């Protein structure tokens, strides 16, 4: 299978999973918010492409810089400086900030190094967090490796869906 067809097949699987998750969210009356750094809005784009389920998406925050994380989500400057933007603590603060600053029931965050390297951090290291109204915030760390920007971002979409599948029944 050539690279283009493989990408199309992967997109179909991700889109089908996204549709299932959003349908379940709609059925449960849940609203979703996203807080994205290294994915740059891809999660929001994925879920807003699903016809008939748009009312399950509340809003998305694209917070690529530390300033954006602080101003839009309330992530403290001290936390960003102490732990770094790509950390468990910041991913959790991003998800909880998105939950607090939206009308959503569930907020998911993504922060990581999509690459290529350049000395910024470990390429492929990504932290995810999922915050729920009335529930504990979940964290997940992945090390996808130096596989390239697009594959890392694709894996991020799959990880987000995996996390959402665990809380949207």
Residue 7 has pLDDT above 60, yes or no: no
The reported pTM is 0.91
As for how many domains the chain has, the answer is: 1
- The per-residue pLDDT for range 40-69, each reduced to its tens digit, is 999 999 999 988 887 899 999 999 999 999
pLDDT, greater one: 22 or 169: 22
Among the listed residues 52, 13, 37, 60, the one whose alpha carbon sits nearest the alpha carbon of residue 161: 13
What is the residue whose two structure tokens read 């665990």? Answer: 166
Tokens representing 71 are 């101003």
- Cβ 129 vs Cβ 92: under 8 Å: yes
Check residue 110 and give left, alpha or beta (phi > 0: left; psi -120 to 50: alpha).
beta
93-122 residue pLDDT tens? 999 999 999 999 999 999 999 988 666 789
**Beta strands 106-112; 32-36: pairing state:** parallel
Q: Residue 33's closest CA among 91, 108, 92?
A: 108
Query: What 3-state DSSP class applies to 74?
Result: coil
Supply the range of the domain harboring residue 8. 3-167
Q: What is the mean pLDDT of residues 12-30?
A: 91
Q: How large a percentage of the chain has pLDDT more than 90?
A: 83
Distance CA 54, CA 149 (A): 28
CATH number for position 43: 3.90.950.20
């Amino acid at each position: 299978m050539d690279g283009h067809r493989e990408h199309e097949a992967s997109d179909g699987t991700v889109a089908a999973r996204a549709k299932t998750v959003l349908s379940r969210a709609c059925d449960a009356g849940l609203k979703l918010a996203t807080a994205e750094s290294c994915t740059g809005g891809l999660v929001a784009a994925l879920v807003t492409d699903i016809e008939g389920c748009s009312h399950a998406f509340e809003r998305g925050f694209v917070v690529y810089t530390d300033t954006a994380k602080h101003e839009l989500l309330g992530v403290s400057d001290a936390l960003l400086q102490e732990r770094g933007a790509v950390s468990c603590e910041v991913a959790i603060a991003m998800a909880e900030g998105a939950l607090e600053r939206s009308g959503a029931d569930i907020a998911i965050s993504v922060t990581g190094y999509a690459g290529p390297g350049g000395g910024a951090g470990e390429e492929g290291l990504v932290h995810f967090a999922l915050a729920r109204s009335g529930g504990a915030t979940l964290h997940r760390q992945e090390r996808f490796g130096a596989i390239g920007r697009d594959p890392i971002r694709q894996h991020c979409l799959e990880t987000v869906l995996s996390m959402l599948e665990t809380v949207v029944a």
